[in-house]
A and B are shown apart, each in its own frame.
Chain A
């Protein structure tokens, strides 16, 4: 994004856990701060050195350690790229439980460290559930081996959970044991055009009820986001007739075990939506081939890329009640008026996660001041989260208190001090 610029002079690229441990031990003895770095795809500056920290890149730790096709448990080095793991388990008819736009560059270790959400969360849950074990190099160089591959293990405190979402502030994740679900045998998707945002919530209820277990994604794109995606060539646009009068769009994906069954359910849903007395949707398109399936997804996944082509983006990734999505986008737009080019919203309806993006011609202090703490206060007024899936990183440390109360922050600090008394591990991230 060009928003964060590192100032490090040295990058080390260890190949083994032992090498990571040796590096950290040496740094600990000399109080040298460390920034662990994965694919460097984070959006909040969590993997960027703020001063002259030593960067430890996990890119050379990229081997799959084991995969059990019966249980679906994959054990891999932290530096494995998400897409390559997806390709690795695919012939065994499994898929990774997470999927996100940056899959071609992001590392599994970084995904776990940031507790990445992404497009499959609705179906497969968060990494707190699918990660079975971790291998972590602690801030004193000790290797904490919790790389178990057990579904059930209620023996004492579940330490690994602390590292999931800690953004590298408690240690460096070097290995991940993760449960991969069997790959669906059939997938379909459809983009629905809605006359106004108020219909999203009832539509979600209807879709959830009728599709039940085959629903795998329910994504929201507002009209501005859709228009930008089309403008910047992300996926083939719907016909003018289909988008006329649409205020926002919803992408619904199904994944199931039997194509005929899924298609029947989906067709029933779609006909009931079209034939309703007061239809929730204007119209929609149903993909007819894998090519169209990808093209429809590109309209949603491509919004991120389209936004960066359109201008300089201020990105907020917030959890708020679904009903308030539109209000938050509109209020922000109203607040900024003509200072920016676009204010748009898209995201994971199923998870209550809105991506609020503001596109401007340049990053300016004026816009920054207009946005913060405005957005954070708006989110706090809904008791929302100021970071649903992107993390806190360096960008939002000062704003942590909008989503976590004093007692919570105090205990986070105690945990940080316990693991990292010298404060060498990813300093300046998460906690101020």
Chain B
């Protein structure tokens, strides 16, 4: 028997498949949504979250017992899980939605994650100590899920993290947060929800041997019913439109003309 002093850490990383940030977004003619028939990849903030979990394990040596990734989405979201597994996560959960289902909202997602965290707690050696997730998804930019999850679980939260240090023995973490005009350092006890900001790290490439290994790692499939949650949206999208196209600038011949134009546009001296 090994000394029972410190139970090893279990990390949960929720990730989302989103339209890739390099893709030019096109609104559909009905103005009900965007063209989704384009390249998707892992939400960049989530990629940072996966990378941070893997780096934590590298830094803390043996102290991280498991890194589990979870996604909620259609069948194709499984590809995103494979990417995370190739980066170094151990196992994955896919809460599968029908292709036709509307995108779940932050509260629904947070409730599903809470259910998953509770489910994990019942496993032997389980019990999630740390949730690391993107601060927002780049498709809907809601930026609420992490905070809601912490609220629902009654856990501490450290959002917009740009640096994360975890003391596995002491069950605590020190987080540097991005705030207006600088950064804020705070410490928190585990369990904890951390949401990631861009400066936290730069995600790695998935190496070929790891991609091959990832194919053999387990992906558990669940449905909303298994978790006892309802993803029915509470919001109604009325219309989606593109921003107005930028009107090019003009040239003026003199200062007077410039002043006149500024007045015309409603600018006045202070």
Are chains A and B native binding partners rather than an unrelated pairing? Answer: yes
A interface residues with partner B (beta carbon < 8 Å): 190, 192, 236, 238-239, 241-242, 270-271, 273-274, 281, 283-292, 294, 296
List, in ascending order, chain B residues with CB within 8 A of A241's CB. 207
Given A289-B20, A290-B22: A274 in contact with B83 (beta carbons within 8 A): no
List, in ascending order, chain A residues with CB within 8 A of B86's CB. 288
B208 partner, pick from A283, A291, A296, beta carbons under 8 A = A283
List, in ascending order, chain B residues with CB within 8 A of A289's CB. 20, 22, 39, 41-42, 47
Question: CB distance A238 to B205 under 8 Å?
Answer: yes
Q: Does B262 sit within 8 A of A, measured CB to CB?
A: no
Question: CB distance A288 to B205 under 8 Å?
Answer: yes
The distance in angstroms between the C-alpha atoms of A284 and B21, with both chains bound, is 24
Question: CB distance B22 to A239 under 8 Å?
Answer: no
A285 partner, pick from B23, B39, B206, B212, beta carbons under 8 A = B206
The distance in angstroms between the C-alpha atoms of A287 and B205, with both chains bound, is 7
CB distance from A68 to the nearest CB of B (A): 24
B:22-77 near A, CB below 8 Å? 22-23, 39, 41-42, 44, 47
Question: CB distance B208 to A239 under 8 Å?
Answer: no
Please name 30 pairs of A and B residues whose Cβ atoms are closer than 8 Å in the assembled complex, sorted by A: A192-B208, A238-B205, A239-B207, A241-B207, A242-B205, A242-B207, A270-B208, A271-B212, A274-B208, A283-B208, A283-B209, A284-B208, A285-B207, A285-B208, A286-B205, A286-B208, A287-B205, A288-B41, A288-B206, A289-B20, A289-B39, A289-B41, A289-B42, A289-B47, A290-B22, A291-B20, A291-B21, A291-B44, A294-B22, A296-B205
CB distance from B32 to the nearest CB of A (A): 22
Q: Residue on A with the closest CB to B20?
A: A290
Q: Residue on B with the closest CB to A241?
A: B207
Question: CB distance A285 to B42 under 8 Å?
Answer: no
B:88-142 near A, CB below 8 Å? none
The distance in angstroms between the C-alpha atoms of A290 and B39, with both chains bound, is 8
List, in ascending order, chain A residues with CB within 8 A of B207's CB. 238-239, 241-242, 283-285
List, in ascending order, chain B residues with CB within 8 A of A273's CB. 208
CB distance from B191 to the nearest CB of A (A): 29
B211 partner, pick from A270, A292, A294, beta carbons under 8 A = A270
List, in ascending order, chain A residues with CB within 8 A of B23's CB. 290
List, in ascending order, chain B residues with CB within 8 A of A270's CB. 208, 211-212
Q: Does B202 sit within 8 A of A, measured CB to CB?
A: yes
CB distance from B23 to the nearest CB of A (A): 7
CB distance from A69 to the nearest CB of B (A): 18
List, in ascending order, chain B residues with CB within 8 A of A296's CB. 205
List, in ascending order, chain A residues with CB within 8 A of B206's CB. 285-286, 288
Residue among A236, A281, A284, A290 having the largest count of chain B Cβ atoms under 10 Å: A290
Q: Residue on A with the closest CB to B23?
A: A290
CB distance from B6 to the nearest CB of A (A): 28
B interface residues with partner A (beta carbon < 8 Å): 20-23, 39, 41-42, 44, 47, 83, 86, 202, 204-209, 211-212
Question: CB distance B205 to A239 under 8 Å?
Answer: yes
List, in ascending order, chain A residues with CB within 8 A of B42's CB. 288-289
CB distance from B148 to the nearest CB of A (A): 27
List, in ascending order, chain A residues with CB within 8 A of B20's CB. 289-291
The distance in angstroms between the C-alpha atoms of A289 and B43, with both chains bound, is 10
The distance in angstroms between the C-alpha atoms of A294 and B22, with both chains bound, is 10
B205 partner, pick from A192, A274, A285, beta carbons under 8 A = A285
Q: Residue on B with the closest CB to A187?
A: B39
The distance in angstroms between the C-alpha atoms of A77 and B209, with both chains bound, is 49
List, in ascending order, chain A residues with CB within 8 A of B47's CB. 289
Residue among B21, B23, B208, B212 having the largest count of chain A Cβ atoms under 10 Å: B208
CB distance from B15 to the nearest CB of A (A): 12
Residue among A270, A284, A285, A289 having the largest count of chain B Cβ atoms under 10 Å: A289
CB distance from A150 to the nearest CB of B (A): 34
Instruction: Pick the 6 closest A-B CB pairs, nearest first.
Output: A289-B41, A285-B205, A290-B22, A284-B208, A288-B83, A290-B20
List, in ascending order, chain A residues with CB within 8 A of B202's CB. 236
Q: Residue on A with the closest CB to B84?
A: A288
Question: CB distance B41 to A290 under 8 Å?
Answer: yes
The distance in angstroms between the C-alpha atoms of A372 and B146, with both chains bound, is 65
CB distance from B22 to the nearest CB of A (A): 4
CB distance from A381 to the nearest CB of B (A): 38
The distance in angstroms between the C-alpha atoms of A283 and B204, with both chains bound, is 15
List, in ascending order, chain B residues with CB within 8 A of A236's CB. 202, 205
List, in ascending order, chain A residues with CB within 8 A of B39's CB. 289-290
Question: CB distance A239 to B204 under 8 Å?
Answer: yes
CB distance from A265 to the nearest CB of B (A): 15
List, in ascending order, chain B residues with CB within 8 A of A291's CB. 20-22, 41, 44
CB distance from B59 to the nearest CB of A (A): 15
The distance in angstroms between the C-alpha atoms of A192 and B208, with both chains bound, is 9
The distance in angstroms between the C-alpha atoms of A289 and B44, with both chains bound, is 10
List, in ascending order, chain B residues with CB within 8 A of A286's CB. 205-206, 208, 211
CB distance from B84 to the nearest CB of A (A): 10
List, in ascending order, chain A residues with CB within 8 A of B209's CB. 274, 283
Q: A285-B208, A290-B22 are in contact. List 4 more A-B contacts (CB 8 A).
A: A239-B207, A284-B207, A291-B21, A294-B22
The distance in angstroms between the C-alpha atoms of A283 and B206, with both chains bound, is 11
The distance in angstroms between the C-alpha atoms of A285 and B210, with both chains bound, is 9
The distance in angstroms between the C-alpha atoms of A186 and B209, with both chains bound, is 23
The distance in angstroms between the C-alpha atoms of A13 and B153, with both chains bound, is 69
List, in ascending order, chain B residues with CB within 8 A of A281's CB. 208
Q: Residue on A with the closest CB to B202?
A: A236
CB distance from A292 to the nearest CB of B (A): 6
The distance in angstroms between the C-alpha atoms of A242 and B211, with both chains bound, is 13
List, in ascending order, chain B residues with CB within 8 A of A292's CB. 205
Residue among B21, B39, B83, B205 having the largest count of chain A Cβ atoms under 10 Å: B205
CB distance from B165 to the nearest CB of A (A): 22
List, in ascending order, chain A residues with CB within 8 A of B205's CB. 236, 238-239, 242, 285-288, 292, 296
Q: Residue on B with the closest CB to A273?
A: B208
The distance in angstroms between the C-alpha atoms of A82 and B205, with both chains bound, is 30
CB distance from B19 to the nearest CB of A (A): 10
Question: CB distance A190 to B21 under 8 Å?
Answer: no
Q: Residue on A with the closest CB to B82?
A: A288
CB distance from B46 to the nearest CB of A (A): 12
